[in-house]
Structure 1
Amino acid sequence: MRVLLTTWGSRGDVEPLAGLAVALREAGAQARVCAPPDEEFVELLARAGVESVPLGPPVRSVVVGKRPTAQDAFRLAPALVAARFDTLTPAAADCDVLLATGLMPAGARDVAEKLGIPYVLACFHTLGLPSRHSRPGARPGTPSPEGETDNRTLWKQDADRVDALYGDALNSHRAAIGLPPVSGVRDHVLTERPWLAADATLCPAQGMTDLDVVQTGAWLLPDERPLPEGLEAFLDAGEPPVYVGFGSMAAYAPDGIARTAVEAARAHGRRVVLARGWAELAPIDDAADCFAVGEVNQQALFRRVAAVVHHGGAGTTTAAARAGAPQAVVPLIADQPYWAARVAELGIGAAHDRRTPTADSLAAVLGSALSPVVRARAAVVAGTVRTDGAAVAAKLLIEEAGKGGTSVRT
């Protein structure tokens, strides 16, 4: 059995597919991953022993150096549609099922349709899933009228924005391979039964969307790498430090966030492990209380820190929760406000509001996260975070493959 997995997005979109690919291999299936050609993603998949195929432009080329504009989005969307038709068609030719995730994967279902194999859409949060109980997230395009409050109307307008971004390109490529046009790109991509690859404690699906969601649990990639010797020595030299990292938020990380975070940690007498990330965070001075790291085993590191200060990505939130590390979340874009709110609601950390943090405001949030009550609660919740999500999804995906192309749902 052969499975094609595909995504286009940040580390948080790629690593779960590596975890699923490993689980599929353990279940006796062969998995191939089509993902952005960023060097670190290629290395990640290679480390997991997963066959990879480059898809689309590097993500770094889009998000590093400037904040993407609406014009950028309207150029990127049709380019990604074309890349999916061009790349996924040969990559899926010998496969029995195709699973897509990441940035609106328009084109993936259509390739599966042409090849006559099942298609599954997976997501790592519920932000983009239509719901009568909540508003859609922001998306490039014509904004909804000011004062509009009806959620059904707002989600219809969200669908119109997706059509404006992807519709012409998608239907042009469908026509080129002999498929009829589709109306409503968003719902076509999502299907009526998307999969939610998120932990049920951290991101419960019930009541969050009108769709019939299949929640598998988070897809975790086991990481047995030792921590670097220098980091081990730093950790052993004193009390547990505070970890600070903003992942791929190069264009969105607040100016001076490294200084802000270091000063906030020092206000509590804490040392700092500073993750460089795409924002290239760096120590603010030569003091011995700060250690900078690059790529590192978060699963091992988070078990040894006093708290995790981060942007609220799904992957980092889950890794910290699983490790029992209290969290101080500074949400920036997309699903991050949801994760920040959920961390606070569960009592496993504290959330900064959407304004730019200062040393004082972040120190206050960090102080809450460092409290004994929060640490105790984080330890309890850690025991509820399931680690078998990838295995659950692998079993379901193998079952989908056995159904044939008719299992694609409209």
Structure 2
Amino acid sequence: MRVLLVAYGSRGDVEPMVGLAVQLRELGAEVRVCAPPDFAELLDGVGVPLLPIGQPVRPMVKGAVTGTAPMPAAGLPQRAAALVATTYDAVAAAAEGCDAMVATGLFPAAAGARSAAEKLGIPYLFVAYFPTYLPSPHHPPFERPGRPFPPDVTDNRVLWDLDIENMNVLFGTGLNTHRASIGLPPVDNFRDYVLTDRPLLATDPTLSPWLEPADLDVAQTGAWFRLDERPLPADLEAFLNAGTPPVYVGFGSIPMRASEDVARAAIEAVRAQGRRALVSRGWADLTLTDDQDDCFAVGEANHHALFGRVAAVVHHGGAGTTTTAARAGAPQVVVPQMADQPYWAGRVADLGIGAAHDGPTPTYESLSAALKTALTPDTRARATAIADTIRTDGATVAAKLLLDTVSRERPPVPA
């Protein structure tokens, strides 16, 4: 069986697909991945072929966050239409000979992927990495750029109905124009076309439960881990062994404005707690502010091996980083920047395994206050207790579910 995995977005969109790819391959499937070219090294490291979609996303994301390449809402439908077409072209070529497709990431890209699956006649599944991406009476949708909700509307179901209208306005016309060009009928509900009526939810049930009753039939599998066994770099090992556990500071594949100020505030706040600092460069390009030996800068490193050896993890609140830190029993300080990150910050605070920073711009004062919460013995004890509940079999569950679904839907082989 051949499976194509499609993820257009940041590292947080692609990394769980790597975990699924590894499990599918162990079950005998042939796997390939469509993703931005930024992640060629990541896929090469596990021996999974990457068929790239479009141009690298890092410059685009950095420009949007830092303001050097603004993305006004007025041009969003045109950009979305272009992304539908670009993704369709890449995915249609990559999916030849495949038996199934799993997609995630930006909605227009996933719409292009589903159209390719439809054209080729193969099953398509959508996966979300956080519950608030999916319609539910228990939470509201995100506001779309340039499409604010009426301030007097608070009923979640009404807001989700408005979300359908907004998605159709922003993305539906571009999708249907492209579908007409390839001989497919129009779609009247863009959002639900992308999500399907039974999406997968790749989150841990303790850390991020799907609340019932709900209007959508969601299959929650657990988070998709790639159980990384790579050793830590020798110089990082030396730093870890040279003193008490440090506080990790990193924002993954999220660029940040004024990254030098962020790094300075973080290091000073960590030192104020009497701790050493371990700074991850990431897409924010964080750097050390001096050459004192109580700080160390690291590039790519195995978080599964690292987070169990730190005093706390200060991060942006991506699904993968939050779950990996929770599994390691590391207290967290979440400084949310966008999208699902405020959700994860809230979950960390609600579970008592860390602190949710107020807003996206950390200062010495705000980080000091958050670290005081995260570094207490009570928070450490709660984080340790929660760690024992985090499942590690989500990718295996999803791989078996996918293969079983495809086997049931396959037409019988003629005698």
TM-score, normalization by structure 1: 0.95
2:47 counterpart of 1:49 = yes
Check conservation: 2:137, 2:156, Cα contact below 8 A: yes
Q: How does 1:152-301 map to 2 (within 5 A)?
A: 152-207=157-212, 209-251=214-256, 256-301=261-306
C-alpha deviation, 1:309, in angstroms: 0.4
User: 2:122 corresponds to which residue?
Assistant: 117
Gapped regions of structure 1 (runs ≥ 5): none
User: 1:130 corresponds to which residue?
Assistant: 135
* Structure 2 counterpart of 1:322, from 311, 322, 327: 327
Q: Which amino acid aligns with 1:367?
A: K
Partner Cα distance (2:100, 2:221) in 1: 17
C-alpha deviation, 1:373, in angstroms: 1.1
2:83 counterpart of 1:80 = yes
Partner Cα distance (1:90, 1:184) in 2: 26
Check conservation: 2:138, 2:211, Cα contact below 8 A: no
2:101 counterpart of 1:98 = yes
Gapped regions of structure 2 (runs ≥ 5): none
Q: Kindly tell me: are residues 326 and 95 of structure 1, through their superposed partners in 2, closer, same or farther at Cα, counting changes over 3 Å?
A: same
Deviations 1:122-150 (A, max 9, x none): 01001221122322113213222233223
Q: How does 1:332-343 map to 2 (within 5 A)?
A: 332-343=337-348
Deviations 1:273-327 (A, max 9, x none): 0000111000111211110011111111111100000111101001101111110
Q: Which amino acid aligns with 1:56?
A: G
SS in 1 for 2:159: helix
Partner Cα distance (1:299, 1:213) in 2: 28
Check conservation: 2:5, 2:32, Cα contact below 8 A: yes
Check conservation: 1:6, 1:99, Cα contact below 8 A: yes
Partner Cα distance (1:370, 1:217) in 2: 28
Q: Kindly tell me: are residues 366 and 209 of structure 1, through their superposed partners in 2, closer, same or farther at Cα, counting changes over 3 Å?
A: farther
2:26 counterpart of 1:26 = yes
Partner Cα distance (1:351, 1:218) in 2: 21
Deviations 1:59-83 (A, max 9, x none): 1121113435324643431121001
Q: Kindly tell me: are residues 36 and 253 of structure 1, through their superposed partners in 2, closer, same or farther at Cα, counting changes over 3 Å?
A: farther
C-alpha deviation, 1:254, in angstroms: 6.7
User: 2:57 corresponds to which residue?
Assistant: 59
Q: Kindly tell me: are residues 254 and 162 of structure 1, through their superposed partners in 2, closer, same or farther at Cα, counting changes over 3 Å?
A: farther
Partner Cα distance (2:23, 2:74) in 1: 39
Q: Which amino acid aligns with 1:62?
A: M
2:390 counterpart of 1:389 = no
Check conservation: 1:126, 1:208, Cα contact below 8 A: no
Partner Cα distance (2:77, 2:265) in 1: 35
SS in 1 for 2:333: strand
* Structure 2 counterpart of 1:302, from 302, 307, 312: 307
Partner Cα distance (1:56, 1:22) in 2: 24
Q: Tell me the matched-pair count.
A: 404
Partner Cα distance (1:272, 1:19) in 2: 29
Q: Kindly tell me: are residues 277 and 386 of structure 1, through their superposed partners in 2, closer, same or farther at Cα, counting changes over 3 Å?
A: same
Q: Which amino acid aligns with 1:84?
A: T
C-alpha deviation, 1:195, in angstroms: 0.2
C-alpha deviation, 1:374, in angstroms: 1.0
2:4 counterpart of 1:14 = no
TM-score, normalization by structure 2: 0.93
Deviations 1:54-111 (A, max 9, x none): 0122111211134353246434311210012211112112011111111111122221
Check conservation: 2:74, 2:146, Cα contact below 8 A: no
Deviations 1:19-69 (A, max 9, x none): 10000000011111000111xx11111101111100122111211134353
SS in 2 for 1:127: helix
User: 2:358 corresponds to which residue?
Assistant: 353
C-alpha deviation, 1:357, in angstroms: 2.6
2:146 counterpart of 1:148 = no
Q: Which amino acid aligns with 1:225?
A: R
Partner Cα distance (1:355, 1:18) in 2: 28
C-alpha deviation, 1:350, in angstroms: 1.2
Percent of counterpart pairs with the same letter?
A: 60
C-alpha deviation, 1:334, in angstroms: 0.9
User: 1:370 corresponds to which residue?
Assistant: 375
Partner Cα distance (1:252, 1:214) in 2: 37
